Amino acid sequence: MLTAEYDSAIAQRMQDQHRELAARWFERLLALVPVQAPDIFPSAALLDHIPELIVQISGYLRDPAEHAISANTAVLDKARELGDLRHVQRASLHQVLREYQILWVVLSTFVVEQTEGLGSEAPPGGVATLLQRLQGAVNVLSQATVETFVGLYTATIREQAQRLEEFTRLAAHEWRQPLSTLQVGLAVIRHPNVEADRSARMWEVVDRNLRQLIDVTQKLEAVTRLRDLGDTPLVQTISLTTVAQEAARQLRDMADAKSVELVVQDAMPEVTLDVGRLELVLLNLLSNGIKYADPRKEERRVEVTAAPSPDGGCRLAVRDNGVGIPEHALNTVFRRFTRAHVDRPDLSGVPGLGLGLAIVDDCVDALGATIAVESAEGLGTTFLVSLPATQG
Ligand code: ADP
């Protein structure tokens, strides 16, 4: 048998059996992947890619000049898609490399087996050349996958680093202001000649600023707790009016200080869900409505309403007539450490870390609900929470 005939025969068999080979690859992978990591497990989506890659590799084995893998944009795109997919599935780099290593083992074993099947017909040295070619093809593909994969991770890390930097800036600002007020307030109180009413006023200032520090700290704790630990939900059947009234009660002082009226609709539907999370959602949305009230408007309002939705769930709305959110920021306000009014000097005094809506988003997710925002600058903002029919 001539070398070209041999190459072609093995390549043809590989092509004919590409699905079985992909299944073999998958089985070996299954044995390796830790069971406790189902979210990074290569899913059916990945299985769509591998058979296709095997077909392309077989074409290259048959005719490396015509099917040069490094020049085949379609197959390189497939390999890059794989990198993208594994990034979305949060696989590790080690795992991606392992997958290609397994592909190499499965395909090279196949080539050796098929060659042995040909017995003395196989040309001398044919298998060595073919394996070398195979190795080259797998390397090119794995490089394309890994480059995409690492590129995406690098971008994610860069973005996270930027957000962390921004957080440090905001957190320092957020803590510095009440801390220096506390320092000044305590110095006044300690002064031997301070008048009684001045001292009383200062105690109030101290109290308010301490509460602000506690609030910031609690928000930070809430973010880590919600994301990383996942707590034990307390599922109850409760009227939305009761939960919203409780949230409004907790924020009464804050609303009074900014002359904002809090209105809770009577007789809203009952829901069965994790009440703690729903309360956190309402507390954050209502307090934002108060914080971003429009000082130029005579009547400032934040209103909670709800109505049953056609799917058996319920639609909760928190509507304010505040300053509104600029359109360009509507898509990003739910991200951690993101603030939408950084270019508004008149709002620079509004305290915040850009965490409230991220907490809301986490809670909404955990409730199996969804959230949307509608806003117009100068007119106001509405947050719409669609709660599912029941929450087990
Ligand atoms: P912050 O601590 O800055 O208030 P949030 O995550 O609660 O953080 O909100 C993110 C940003 O979205 C805010 O900084 C603000 O610019 C904007 N925002 C949120 N809610 C409202 C609202 N009801 N009205 C106007 N802007 C809002």
Residues 305-360: pLDDT tens digits?
Answer: 999 999 889 999 999 999 999 999 999 999 888 889 988 888 877 878 888 898 89
Q: How many whole angstroms separate alpha carbon 132 and alpha carbon 387?
A: 58
User: Does the beta carbon of 320 lie inside 6 Å of ligand 1?
Assistant: yes
292 Cβ inside 6 Å of ligand 1: yes
Q: CA 169 to CA 163: how far, in whole Å?
A: 10
Q: pLDDT tens across 119-165, in order?
A: 888 898 889 999 999 999 999 999 999 999 999 989 988 887 887 77
Pocket of ligand 1 contains residue 361 by CB under 6 Å: no
DSSP state of 226: I
Q: Are 279 and 241 in contact (CB under 8 A)?
A: no
Give the separation between CA 115 and CA 123, rounded to whole angstroms: 9
Q: Cβ(300) to ligand 1 under 6 A?
A: no
Owner of token pair 């639609």: 315
pLDDT at 35: 47
**Runs of H (alpha helix) within the chain:** 3-16, 18-32, 44-62, 73-88, 93-118, 126-190, 196-224, 240-250, 252-257, 275-291, 356-366
Chain centroid to CA 272: how far? 26
Q: How many CB atoms lie within 10 A of CB 348?
A: 11
Output the pLDDT for position 268: 95
> What is the distance between the alpha carbons of residues 283 and 245, in angstroms, rounded to a whole number?
10
Bridge partners for 383 per DSSP: 318, 373
Residue 230 pLDDT greater than 70, yes or no:
no
Task: Tell me, rounded to whole angstroms, the distance of Cα 315 from its chain centroid.
Answer: 24
Using a 6 Å cutoff on CB, does residue 341 contact ligand 1?
yes
Q: How far apart are CA 38 and CA 227, in angstroms?
A: 18
Task: Read off the pLDDT of residues 169-196 as tens digits, 9 standing for 90 and up.
Answer: 777 877 888 898 899 999 999 999 889 9
Residue 60 Cα to ligand 1 midpoint, Å, equals 56
As a whole number, the mean pLDDT across the chain is 87
Q: Compute the average pLDDT of residues 381-392.
A: 85
Q: How far is 21 from 50, CA to CA, in rounded Å?
A: 9
Q: Which atom of ligand 1 is nearest to the CA of 324?
A: 25
Residues 6+ positions from 172 with CB-CB distance below 8 Å: none
Tell me the angle at which helices 18-32 and 93-118 cross, rounded to the nearest 10 degrees.
Answer: 130
What is the pLDDT at residue 144? 94
Q: Is 355 exposed, middle or buried (0-12, 13-18, 19+ CB in 10 A)?
A: buried
375: which strand partners? Answer: 381
Asked whether 355 lines ligand 1 (CB < 6 A), one says yes
| pTM of the predicted structure, to 2 decimals | 0.55
pLDDT band, residue 224 (cuts 50/70/90)? low
β-strands 314-320, 380-387 pairing: antiparallel
pLDDT tens track for 16-74: 999 999 989 888 877 766 544 445 455 555 666 788 889 989 999 998 887 788 888 88
Tokens describing residue 22: 């992909």
Q: What angle is formed at CA 30 by the lines to CA 27 and CA 31, rounded to 5 degrees?
A: 95
Please tell me the distance from the alpha carbon of residue 122 to that of residue 4, in angstroms, as a whole number.
Answer: 11
- How far apart CA 30 and CA 193 sit, in angstroms, is 78
Mutate to test the pocket of ligand 1, among 177, 325, 353, 359 (most ligand atoms within 8 A of CB): 325
Residue 11 tokens, joined = 């390549």
CA-based R_g, the chain, Å: 31
Residue scoring higher pLDDT (236 or 34)? 236
**Residue 117 tokens, joined:** 């099947």
Q: Which atom of ligand 1 is nearest to the CA of 329?
A: 12
pLDDT of amino acid 135: 94
